[in-house]
Every structure is written in structure tokens, then in C-alpha cells.
Structure 1
Amino acid sequence: MSGSDLGMRRRRALWRASHRGTKEMDFLLGRFAAVSLDSMNAAELTLFERLIDTPDPEIEKAVLNSLSLGVRELDELIDRLRHFHGLDQPG
């Protein structure tokens, strides 16, 4: 995959993460994407694309309530997202 293809996928993923339809998901996914996408390799980007294909209510439950999406790799990405937003801190 060429660098320009990866760049296009990153830009598309950033737009999709920032335009979810709810301000909460725009904020949670969009801010994470803006900071993280440039350092993601192709495999990590593919995983992020899988996450943003997931319906918002499922992502919201996973992020805010620490519920599993049923896929270990997606759960690990959710953990990174939670850590990024400081949601993994105790009480």
C-alpha cells in the first residue's frame, strides 16, 4: 500500500470519527483519531476502521461502561481510547 493510500485512509477515518451524528461520539472518537491516526500503521488503521463501522450505542457502552465488543483487538483499542480520555482512572 502506498503512503498516499494510507494517508487517504487516515483522512477518511478522521472525518468519519469526527462526524458520527452525536456530539459525544464525535468528541470521543474524533479527538482520539486526530491525535492517534498519524502514528497508526496499516493494520492498526484497519482495526480503527472496524471500530468506526460499529454502531454508536455499542461503542458508547464499551467506552463508558467498559463492556466488551466481543473482539479482543477491538477491546484493546477501546482500552486505548478510554486511557486517552482519562476514563480508566479510579473513582
Structure 2
Amino acid sequence: MTVEPRDIRLKRLKIRAEHRGIKEMDLILGGWAAAHLAHASEAELDLFEAILAEADLDLYQWVSGQQPAPEAYAAFIEDLAATVRIGGA
């Protein structure tokens, strides 16, 4: 198995975050990616990649507080939601 170089992985994750399908998630996830990907740990990148695999509707409901996020994602989703609230204020 070939290991993907970090710079390629970051570019791939940024593109996936910015081109989700619904504009709200493009802005939310793309904004987080722009601000945090460069200094994220490998574990954070793994978590972000797993979150990117989730459906937009589920992600939006978690971030907006309409539905609770799965426990594995709860802390990240709360951070993401707080970032959106701060940025939108």
C-alpha cells in the first residue's frame, strides 16, 4: 500500500471540503479546512476525512443542533459549530 504524501492529502481534503454538494456545507467545512488543515495532526486529518464521508444532510443537522452528532464526532462537530457561530456573529 502506498502512503499518500501529506501535502497531497491536504489538497485532496480541502477540495472535498469545499465541493460538498450543498453550499452551506461547502462554506462550513471549507472554512474549517482553510483555517485548520495545515496544522492538523494525523489523527485530526483521519477524523476530518471520516466526517467528509458523511452525508451533507446529516452533517448539517449535527452542526445546526437539529440532531445530536455521533459520539465519535461530537467534540469535532461542537468545535465546528462554535466556529460557525463565532464567524457568523
Contact map agreement 1:6 1:42 (CA 8 A) in 2:
no
RMSD: 1.7
Q: TM-score, normalised by structure 1?
A: 0.83
User: Does 2:75 match 1:76?
Assistant: yes
Letter aligned with residue 33 of structure 1: A
Structure 1: stretches of 5+ with no match in the other structure: none
Q: Does 1:16 align with 2:16?
A: yes
| Structure 2: gaps (5+ residues) | none
Amino acid at match of 1:15: I
Secondary structure of the 1:68 match is coil
Distance 2:80 2:66 in 1: 11
Partner deviation per Cα, 1:1-32 (whole Å, 9 max, x = no partner): x8x71221111111000000111110111011
SS in 1 for 2:5: helix
For normalisation by structure 2, the TM-score amounts to 0.84
Partner SS for 1:61: helix
State percent identity of aligned pairs.
Answer: 31
CA contact (8 A) 1:10 1:37 kept: yes
Q: Runs of 4 or more off by more than 3 Å in structure 1? A: none
SS at structure 2 position matched to 1:71: coil
d(CA) in 1 for partners of 2:74, 2:66: 9
Q: Is the 8 Å Cα contact of residues 61 and 67 (structure 1) preserved in structure 2? A: yes
